[in-house]
Structure 1
Amino acid sequence: MPRPNSARRMLNTPRRRKVDETRRSDLLASVEAIFLDEGFTHVTMGELTERLHCSKATLYSVAPTKEQLVIAATKKFFAKSAEIIEDTVADLDSPSAKVSAYLDGVATAMRRNSRDFYEDMVSFSLDSRNLRAKYGAGGPAGRRAHR
């Protein structure tokens, strides 16, 4: 006879740990700050749990792997930066002023990053098969172009 779903059974797998959205968001913001300041290739999940005062199960509830945590933190940084830039550009009328504001915004956002983060980001390699599976042959830019 199959066992009914129980809370005990769900807690047997740390990666299924439930963490409230506020805590998850706070952890991701802290991870983002650490990665932007120090890079991410040398920072281990164990170090993150010590510095963030959380368990590995809690950290893995934010992202199931370190690679996914790097991606989530990086996406959060770029999404936040893009939102600020878009808000600035939206208030402008002149196309040249919009382009200038956009480029200034990108430069300002990227200045926030440490050299270590930039070097890690440039050398970070995602499996191209995963990208093709997610976005198609053209990658992320190709998918956006076909929308």
Structure 2
Amino acid sequence: MPTARTRPEVLLDDLVDLFLAEGFRTFTLAQLAARLRCSKTTLYALGQSKEQLTVNAVRHYFRRATAQVETETAEAASSADRLVAYLAAIGRALRPASPAFRLDLAAHHVAREVYEHNIAAAAARVRQLIGDGVAAGEFRDVHAAFIADTIAATMERIQTGRVLAATGLHDADAYEELASLVLDGIRSVTAAGT
């Protein structure tokens, strides 16, 4: 049974949604309070400054996205399905991020560090998923750390919009292509034939 969310939790979700849609650099605290229909004092409960509020919102976004990605990944039956589910769920989690949000994320030192930390965590998770698939015989014996690092570099390019600029593929589609490319490269001959 889901628990009732508090007003600060709802407000933080609303703030994240606003930032994803419009970015965060140009907002003042007064504008944020007006858009979220709350007082500046209420916003200060989420962060003592606009800087802290921004970082807290970005962290919340990545925690929220990670929880959803892991929920979707856990529902998959095989190692291959889990890897595909993981990458596809990341694509869906990033879909609401507007170009303005991406530019602001890249330009904001601390927010960018939060993003880079999450990319590193995603690479570690991919490495684990590949290792599980190798152990289960679904994937051939590959260098999981190299593949995870390559995926992380591609994830960075997707997030910053460079894949879209170079290929025309939007995030979710790019993640689906990435999953297909990786699976085709690591699936064991035995698993591929079944």
Corresponding position: 1:27 with 2:11: yes
2:101 match: 117
* Cα distance change on mapping 1:126 and 1:81 into 2, 3 Å: closer
1:45 pairs with 13, 24, 29, which one?
29
Could you tell me which of 13, 38, 51 is aligned with 1:67?
Answer: 51
Gapped regions of structure 2 (runs ≥ 5): 125-194
Q: Deviations over 1:4-26 (max 9, x none)?
A: xxxxxxxxxxxxxxxxx822122
| Structure 2 CA distance for aligned equivalents of residues 44 and 114 of structure 1 | 19
Matched, 1:91 2:75: yes
Aligned to 2:170: none
1:92-111 CA distances to partner (integer Å, 9 max, x unpaired)? 23222211111111111111
Query: Residue 16 of structure 2 contacts residue 57 of structure 2 at CA under 8 Å; is this kept in 1?
Result: yes
* Aligned residue-pair number: 113
User: What are the superposed Cα offsets for residues 19-52 of structure 1, whole Å, 9 maximum, x if unpaired?
Assistant: xx82212221221111010000001111011222
SS at structure 1 position matched to 2:91: helix
Q: Distance in 2 between matches of 1:125 and 1:105?
A: 26
Letter in 1 for 2:87: L
Q: TM-score, normalised by structure 1?
A: 0.67
What CA distance in whole angstroms lies between the structure 2 residues aligned with 1:44 and 1:28? 16
Q: Verify: 1:80 aligned to 2:59, yes or no.
A: no
Could you tell me the percent identity over the aligned residues? 34
Q: TM-score, normalised by structure 2?
A: 0.52
Task: Return the alpha-carbon distance in structure 1 between the equivalents of residues 17 and 8 of structure 2.
Answer: 14
Residue identity opposite 2:101 in structure 1: F
- The SS at the match of 1:42 is coil
C-alpha distance in 1, partners of 2:71/2:36?
32
| Residues in 2 aligned to 1:126 and 1:102: alpha-carbon distance in whole angstroms | 26
- Computed over aligned residues only, the root mean square deviation of the Cα atoms, in angstroms, reads 2.5
Question: Per-residue deviation at 1:91?
Answer: 2.0
Q: Secondary structure at the match of 2:72?
A: helix
| AA aligned opposite 2:19 | F
Alpha-carbon distance between aligned partners in 2 of 1:75 and 1:50, rounded to the nearest angstrom: 22
Structure number with the higher helix fraction is: 2
1:70 partner amino acid: T
